[in-house]
Amino acid sequence: MSLALLGLTAIMVLTSLSVLSNMIKEKLGSLRDPLQVWEVLHAVDILPMRLRAWIFSAIVGFANPYARTINFRITELRKGKACGAMKETKEISNPYRCVHAAALITFGETVGSLALFTLLGKSDRAILTNISAEYVKVSRGLLTASSIVTPIKDREATEVVTHVLIKNASFETVSKLTLTWKVDLKDTF
Ligand SMILES: *[C@@H]1O[C@H](CO)[C@@H](O)[C@H](O)[C@H]1NC(C)=O
Ligand SMILES: *[C@@H]1O[C@H](CO)[C@@H](O)[C@H](O)[C@H]1NC(C)=O
């Protein structure tokens, strides 16, 4: 294949991908149902795994512009659970070469809100009212975040507290986040 043809093919692939991501984005707007987007993407087997993770993270970035300031990927999403990875980059590191506290918060909030949103119905609402971070160890290198939320049984609840654990590449917990959400649960399961 000539270089020009290769270039053209690459442009066509990129264009169709951006069309696809725009379509998903428009359809699901504010990412109220992240699990649905995740499942749609994972039903497209022709896309390599890394690309699907990239597209999903780009969609999350559209819904939450602050998430675009960090280099992250969502690696797992299921009902009540979300996991992600974030690479340390110069942009998010402080002069001591460790990940900036604000980048950890953004990463934790992104993963934590996805985990909670997988449990919400269409008319349910959740607003973050308090986020508290405990910096246990210095954060360097590749970090992973995970959040597990137990199903909300009490439909009258007005507040839900969730947790996010951030670990480094040696599985050491470097940060613990506590997220408090004001919830309005209208959907009955
Ligand atoms: C925010 O959450 C943390 C952890 O749950 C708690 O210690 C703190 O008191 C809360 N702050 C407010 C203003 O509610
Ligand atoms: C993870 O954190 C621990 C404790 O700070 C540290 O000893 C270890 O070297 C870190 N691992 C990596 C891969 O950064």
- The fold of the 69-189 domain, in CATH, is Thiol Ester Dehydrase; Chain A (3.10.129)
Name the strand (E) or helix (H) holding 63.
helix 49-63
| Confidence (pLDDT) at 182 | 96
Residues of the chain short of pLDDT 70, as ranges, are 1, 16, 19-31, 188-189
Dist. CA 143–CA 181, nearest whole Å: 24
97 touches ligand 2 (CB under 6 Å) = no
Mutate to test the pocket of ligand 1, among 130, 131, 134, 159 (most ligand atoms within 8 A of CB): 130
For the entire predicted model, the pTM comes to 0.82
Expressed in angstroms and rounded, the spacing between residue 168 Cα and the centre of ligand 2 is 6
22 touches ligand 1 (CB under 6 Å) = no
| Confidence (pLDDT) at 189 | 55
* Both structure tokens of 102: 């604000």
Expressed in angstroms and rounded, the spacing between residue 184 Cα and the centre of ligand 1 is 20
| Confidence (pLDDT) at 110 | 94
